[in-house]
Amino acid sequence: MANKVAESTSIDSVLHEDRKFECPESFSQQAHIPSLAEYDRIYRESVEEPEKFWGRIAGELHWFKKWDKVLEWNCPWAKWFVGGQINLSYNCLDRHVGTARKNKAAIIWESEPGEVRTLTYQQLHREVQKFANVLKSLGVQKGDRVAIYMGMTPELPVAMLACARIGATHTVVFGGFSSNALVDRIHDSQATTVITQDGSYRRGAEVKLFPAVEEALKSCPSVKNVVIYQRTGSAINTQPGRDHWWHDLMAKASDECPAEPLDAEHPLYILYTSGTTGKPKGLVHTTGGYAVGTYLTTKWVFDLKEEDTYWCTADIGWVTGHSYIVYGPLQNGAAVLMYEGAPNFPEPDRFWDIIDRHKVSILYTAPTAIRTFIKWGDQWPNKHKLDSLRLLGTVGEPINPEAWIWYHETIGHSRCPIVDTWWQTETGNMMLTPIPGAIATKPGSATKPFPGVVAEVVDIEGKPVPAGSGGFLIIRQPWPGMARTIYGDPERYKQQYWSQIPGTYFTGDGARKDKDGYFWVMGRVDDVINVSGHRLSTMEVESALVAHEAVAEAAVVGRPDDVKGQAISAFVTLEQGRKPTNELKEELRKWVAKEIGSLAKPDDIRFTDTLPKTRSGKIMRRLLRELATSGEVKGDTTTLEDFSVLAKLKDSDES
C-alpha cells in the first residue's frame, strides 16, 4: 500500500450536493451541546489545550488511582492517563449500581424467535462478577487472551465485561466467521480460553457455532478451556476436561468479584478490521483512553439522556458493537437494546416492529442496511409508527445522499437529526460526526471533527488542499481512544498508519472539505478511479447511480484501459420490480453523465442481485476490481459474506 498511495495525487470532486438540514430547534433546546457556538468553543479548547480537556472528561469516570500525566506522545506511540488505574467493567457497572440506575435496564434483549430478556444494571453486575469468577476458576489471569465466538446474546457482553473486570484481553470473533478465521485469530492472539455457544438463530434457522470451534481447536494448542453457553440446545460433542457448560460453571461461581485496578494502558482487547481492503489487521485497544473516548462520544453524539432506549444494530463482533453497544453506552448508564437475529425475520419489518414495541429513541445502523431497506420497499416501515425515534445514526461506509434522504424521511419522518459518524477500528471511537443540536447536517457529509480530533485533507506531501478539493484524510494529533499498535506487529502499525505522511495518522480514506469546513468522505484511497488523469471517488459515482430511481445499490471500480488509463465498471443492484435491460444500462450511463459529468460515465454496467460484501456489510470493491480486470479473484476473501456472489458475478454478462 505504501507505494501505491505515494504515487497518487488529489481526488477530483464531481458530486454536487447542496441540501442542508438545520438542527431542529426543539432538539437543540434539550441537547447536551445546544448550539454551534458551544461546539466551536469546546472544539477550540479541546485542540488548544487537549490535556486539560481530556483530563476534565476523564474526571467524570471512576479511577482507582488518578493519572500523573494525561499524555505521553512519542510518535506513533501514545500513552494516555499515564500512571492512572482504572477498570472499564467497574465504570460500566459498579459506578451505576450505587445509584438510581441500579434497577434500570442495562440490556433489553430480543431473540430472533421473539423472547425478550431484560438485565438491569444490578443483574448484569451480578452476572459479570460470576462469570469473572468462572474465568478465574479456569486459570485465566490478568493479561491472558480470551477468544469470544458467540452470537448476539447478553452472555456476549457478560463475557467481555468479565474479561475486562479481571484484566484478561478479549478478542471477539464475529459469530458468522468460519472456523479458519477463528484459527487465524486464536493463533495470532495465542488465546488460552474460548467462550462460545452451541448455536445462534439467524433467519429462522440455527447457525451452529460450537462445531466451528471444535474444528478450529484441532490446530490451536494454546487453548486449554472452552466455555459453552447453551442457547439452542442442539446436540454437540464436548470433550471432557477441555469443554465446560456455561450454566454448570455459573451455578458454582460466587457472585462477588471486585474489579481489578488496571494500568490505564492495560490492553483491553484485540480486534480485527473488517478486511474490506485486504487481510484484516488485529488492532490493540487499551483501557483508560478508550474508556474516555467511547464514554464521551456516546454521550455527545447520541445526545444520550437517562430516558433513552438506545439501539445499535451492529454485531458486537465489529468495533461498532464494542464501542457503541457495550463500552460507550454502559459507561453512560444507557438502556441498550440488543437484537439477536436478521432484519427480515419473520418479515422485512422486524426492525420497525422492534422500534415500536420497545419505544426505541435512538437508532444507529449502517448504510448497507439502509440501502437494503430501500430495496425491500417503503410498505414495511410505513406499517409502523416509529414515533418514539428522536435521533438516527449511520456508520461503516459513506452514505449516499439519496439513502440519507430516505432514512431522514421514511424512518425519521423528517423529524430526527441524522448523525453520519466516520471512524475506524483503529480510531476506537467516532472522529468526524455531527453533534446533533449543534451542527446542521448535509446528506453524505460526516460534517465536523469531534472535539479533540484534528482532521485535515492533505496532498501527498501533507499540505492541506484547498476547500472543495479531494485528498487524503489524516489526523494530526493523538486522541485517547486510538489503537496503540497492531498485535504482535508494531512495525506494521508504524508503517501502515504513521509513515505515509510522517508524524500524522493516515486513515487510508479520501475526503474533501467544503467551504463551510464540512468533511465529505469519498471512499478508500485504494479504490480511487483514474480516468484520463482525473481521479474520481467511488462514493461520488456510486451516489449518482443510487440517485436513479431504479438503482438500489452500486459499486464502481476502475479497470485498465489503453486509452483512458482506467475505465469505469459499475456493478448495480436494482430496486425490487425493476428489470435489468440493455435500455436501462444505457439510461444509467446517460444519467451519470448528466448528474456528474461525462468523465464519470460508466464504461460498462453489470446488473447483479447482490454485491460482494464483508461480513460487516461493506462493499469489497477490491474483489470487483480483480473481477473486472482479470475475470479472477485471488485476493484475501476470508471476510467475504457470501462466496456464491463471486461465482454469480463471474457469470453475469459484460457489455
> Which residues bind to ligand ATP, rule: CB under 6 A?
273-278, 280, 318-319, 395-398, 420-422, 424-425, 446, 507-509, 521, 524, 616, 618
CA 242 to chain centre: 33
250: nearest Cα among 235, 234, 228, 268: 228
509's contact among ligand ATP, Mg ion, none, with CB below 5 to 8 A by partner kind, is: ligand ATP
446's contact among Mg ion, ligand ATP, none, with CB below 5 to 8 A by partner kind, is: ligand ATP
125: nearest Cα among 302, 317, 257: 257
Minimum CB–partner distance for residue 392 and ligand ATP (Å) = 13
Window of 83-91, 247-255, 268-276, 400-408 that interacts with Mg ion by CB under 5 A: 268-276
Select 354 or 501, whichever has its Cβ closest to Mg ion.
Answer: 501
In contact, 292 and 480? CB cutoff 8 Å: yes
* Strand pairing report for 309-312 and 335-339: parallel
Q: What is the dihedral of CA 171, 131, 290, 80, to 10 degrees?
A: -100
Cα(336)–Cα(354) distance, integer angstroms? 13
Minimum CB–partner distance for residue 637 and ligand ATP (Å) = 13
Write 590-597 long-range contacts (CB < 8 A, 24+). Answer: 591/544, 591/545, 591/548, 592/541, 592/544, 592/545, 595/544, 595/547, 596/14, 596/15, 596/16, 596/540, 596/541, 596/544, 597/14
The answer for residues whose C-beta is within 8 angstroms of residue 265's C-beta and 6 or more apart is 79, 80, 82, 286, 287, 288, 484
Select 185 or 618, whichever has its Cβ closest to ligand ATP.
Answer: 618
Select 130 or 524, whichever has its Cβ closest to Mg ion.
Answer: 524
Select 274 or 309, whichever has its Cβ closest to ligand ATP.
Answer: 274
Minimum CB–partner distance for residue 425 and ligand ATP (Å) = 3
Minimum CB–partner distance for residue 237 and Mg ion (Å) = 38
Select 296 or 486, whichever has its Cβ closest to Mg ion.
Answer: 486
What is the three-state SS of 229-274? ECCCCCCCCCCCCCEEEHHHHHHHCCCCCCCCCEECCCEEEEEECC
Size, binding site for Mg ion by CB under 5 A: 1
Minimum CB–partner distance for residue 507 and Mg ion (Å) = 8
127's contact among Mg ion, ligand ATP, none, with CB below 5 to 8 A by partner kind, is: none
Select 272 or 380, whichever has its Cβ closest to Mg ion.
Answer: 272
Window of 2-10, 267-275, 534-542, 628-636 that interacts with Mg ion by CB under 5 A: 267-275
Q: The dihedral of CA 422, 427, 429, 433: what is its sign?
A: negative
298's contact among Mg ion, ligand ATP, none, with CB below 5 to 8 A by partner kind, is: none
Window of 74-82, 92-100, 149-157, 271-279 that interacts with Mg ion by CB under 5 A: 271-279
Select 312 or 446, whichever has its Cβ closest to ligand ATP.
Answer: 446
146's contact among Mg ion, ligand ATP, none, with CB below 5 to 8 A by partner kind, is: none
Q: Which residue matches cell numbers 489524516?
A: 474
Window of 19-27, 47-55, 273-281, 625-633 that interacts with Mg ion by CB under 5 A: 273-281
Report 191-250 residues binding Mg ion (CB under 5 A): none
Q: Which residue matches cell numbers 479473484?
A: 633
87's contact among ligand ATP, Mg ion, none, with CB below 5 to 8 A by partner kind, is: none
Minimum CB–partner distance for residue 117 and Mg ion (Å) = 34
Q: Is the peptide bond before 280 cis (omega within 30 degrees of 0)?
A: no
DSSP E strands in 469-545: the ranges are 470-475, 485-486, 505-513, 519-524, 529-531, 534-536
Minimum CB–partner distance for residue 482 and Mg ion (Å) = 14
Select 89 or 323, whichever has its Cβ closest to Mg ion.
Answer: 323
Select 273 or 332, whichever has its Cβ closest to ligand ATP.
Answer: 273
In contact, 631 and 650? CB cutoff 8 Å: yes
Minimum CB–partner distance for residue 395 and Mg ion (Å) = 13
Element (H, E) at 492: helix 490-498
Cα(404)–Cα(446) distance, integer angstroms? 11
Select 92 or 271, whichever has its Cβ closest to ligand ATP.
Answer: 271
Cα(68)–Cα(66) distance, integer angstroms? 7
In contact, 298 and 328? CB cutoff 8 Å: yes
303's contact among Mg ion, ligand ATP, none, with CB below 5 to 8 A by partner kind, is: none
Residue nearest to Mg ion (CB): 273
DSSP string, 259-323: PPPEETTSEEEEEE---SSSS--EEEEESHHHHHHHHHHHHHHTT--TT-EEEE-S-TTSHHHII
Minimum CB–partner distance for residue 34 and ligand ATP (Å) = 24
User: Nine-digit cell at 334?
Assistant: 444507557
CA 378 to chain centre: 26
Window of 196-204, 269-277, 395-403, 613-621 that interacts with Mg ion by CB under 5 A: 269-277
Minimum CB–partner distance for residue 486 and Mg ion (Å) = 12
3-state secondary structure of 123: helix
What are the angstrom distances between the C-alpha of 443 and each of 401, 404, 447, 471, 637? 5, 6, 9, 20, 32
Minimum CB–partner distance for residue 289 and ligand ATP (Å) = 18
260's contact among Mg ion, ligand ATP, none, with CB below 5 to 8 A by partner kind, is: none
Select 300 or 423, whichever has its Cβ closest to Mg ion.
Answer: 423
Minimum CB–partner distance for residue 395 and ligand ATP (Å) = 5
Minimum CB–partner distance for residue 115 and ligand ATP (Å) = 30
Q: Where are the alpha helices (DSSP H) in 59-99?
A: 88-89, 95-97
Select 228 or 301, whichever has its Cβ closest to ligand ATP.
Answer: 301
Cα(68)–Cα(62) distance, integer angstroms? 15
Select 123 or 273, whichever has its Cβ closest to ligand ATP.
Answer: 273
Select 213 or 399, whichever has its Cβ closest to Mg ion.
Answer: 399
Minimum CB–partner distance for residue 433 and ligand ATP (Å) = 8
Cα(433)–Cα(446) distance, integer angstroms? 5
In contact, 505 and 498? CB cutoff 8 Å: yes
Contact residues: Mg ion, CB under 5 A = 273
